[in-house]
């Protein structure tokens, strides 16, 4: 299994540009989520999904959209990038059916907005 | 709302010394608690978790943590530090006791000196 994969690893955007961060998992996990990591702030939840077709907002959802059309994929869209969205983004997934509560994290996408 | 406080953003120990990373939480429901480790330029990896049962939890790489309800603490320890333990460590609490939604502390960066 590849686990949780994220693309791209690095991205530089100009203010106002849009882009999609890709996240995929091959473990048949129901739960997927996106976090952003900023220095001294820990990880903060952006959006999450408990299954295909179901998404909800986390702590810091503004400026981001998500959709979950398949179990495997959970893309994060930045509609109009702002410098405040410069961060490292992590996707995570877990198999909630058996209540293991162990989340598997991808390697991250480092985004810089100029 | 749940919250997590990690005391000390940076901790430095000598190789072979005791590692103690502190975590206190607030939760309105019985908490599910986690410690994750992040090595440089990587995603997060689960070290250990407490859900129910025994309050002393053993994890990978010789780490353990003890859930103390009376002190609302979940401190992480390792008897003898190794150079490979140098990383950032995050304590997290499940937002609603059995939920996969995690609230993270701000992290503690561990340095191990030779």
Q: With 90 as the cut, is the pLDDT of residue B95 above it?
A: no
Query: Could you say which residues of chain A have pLDDT below 50?
Result: none
pLDDT category at B96 given cuts 50, 70, 90 is low
- Give the chain B residue whose CA is nearest to the CA of A107: B43
Provide CB contacts within 8 A for B68, sequence distance 6+: B55, B74
User: Is B90 in contact with A99 (Cβ distance < 8 A)?
Assistant: no
Cα A66 from chain centroid (whole Å):
8
Say if residue A49 is exposed, middle or buried (CB neighbours under 10 Å; 0-12, 13-18, 19+): buried
Instruction: List residues of chain B with CB under 8 Å from any CB of chain A.
Output: 4, 9, 32, 34, 36, 41-46, 49, 51, 90, 94, 98, 100-107
Closest chain A residue to B43, measured at CA:
A107
Q: What is the pLDDT of residues B33-76, one digit of tens each?
A: 999 999 988 899 999 999 888 889 999 999 999 999 899 999 99
Chain A residues in contact with B103 (beta carbon < 8 A): 45
């Amino acid at each position: 299994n590849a686990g949780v994969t994220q693309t791209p690893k690095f991205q530089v955007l100009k203010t106002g540009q849009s882009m999609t961060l890709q996240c995929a998992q091959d473990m048949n996990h129901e739960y997927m989520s996106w976090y952003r990591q900023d220095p001294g702030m820990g990880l903060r939840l952006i959006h999450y999904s408990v299954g295909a077709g179901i998404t909800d907002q986390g702590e810091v959802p503004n400026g981001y959209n998500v959709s979950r059309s398949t179990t495997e994929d959970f893309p994060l869209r930045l509609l109009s990038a702002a410098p405040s969205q410069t961060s490292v983004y992590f996707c995570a997934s877990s198999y909630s059916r058996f209540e293991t509560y162990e989340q598997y994290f991808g390697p991250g996408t480092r985004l810089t907005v100029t | 709302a749940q919250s997590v406080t990690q005391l000390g953003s940076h901790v430095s120990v000598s190789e072979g010394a005791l590692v103690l990373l502190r975590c206190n939480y607030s939760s309105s429901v019985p908490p599910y608690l986690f410690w994750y480790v992040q090595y440089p330029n990587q995603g997060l990896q689960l070290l250990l978790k407490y859900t129910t049962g025994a309050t002393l939890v053993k994890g990978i790489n010789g780490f353990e943590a003890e859930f103390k309800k009376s002190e609302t603490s979940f401190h992480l320890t390792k008897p003898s530090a190794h150079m490979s333990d140098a990383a950032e460590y995050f304590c997290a609490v499940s937002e609603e006791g059995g939920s996969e939604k995690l609230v993270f502390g701000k992290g503690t960066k561990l340095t191990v000196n030779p």
